[in-house]
Amino acid sequence: MRALPICLLALMLSGCSLLSRSPVEPVKSTAAAPKAEPEKPKVTRPTPVRVITDATELVGKPFRDLGEVTGESCQATNQDSPPNIPTARKRMQINASKLKANAVLQHSCEVTSGTPGCYRQAVCVGSALNISSK
């Protein structure tokens, strides 16, 4: 009975002594050259798309209409957070940037009810524009 605690103590001490040893380093071969990691391509961030709410800002500026864009924010059920017009506007800007636009002429932003799949929905509609610097 007295031998059992002594055996357990000896077993624990031998286990701890194995943990205190330094890890063995692998033998390095001189023939293999270290591989350099390939450089990651730099991510180019698109220029931010400016939201224009007044069409008179475009007077005298050359621009090209790239098409209509929309952005949506959906409240799926009554318990979800309400639809957000700034979120819908931001999504409209993202969709315009996919068309390589640098501005959006916002036509309307409104909250509607009864849209299939949404309890309430915020929708922003605008025209994607590419405004020239000249």
- pLDDT 10s per residue in the chain (134 long)? 677 777 677 767 666 555 555 566 666 655 555 566 777 776 666 568 889 998 888 888 899 999 999 999 999 999 999 999 999 999 999 999 999 999 999 999 999 998 888 999 999 999 999 988 76
Q: CB–CB of 52/103 below 8 Å?
A: yes
pLDDT of amino acid 81 = 92
For residue 129, which of 66, 48, 61 has the smallest C-alpha distance?
66
Stated pTM of the model:
0.63
First to last CA, the chain: 97
pLDDT of amino acid 106 = 94
CA within 13 Å, CB half, 80: 13
pLDDT of amino acid 41 = 74
pLDDT of amino acid 35 = 63
pLDDT of amino acid 40 = 73
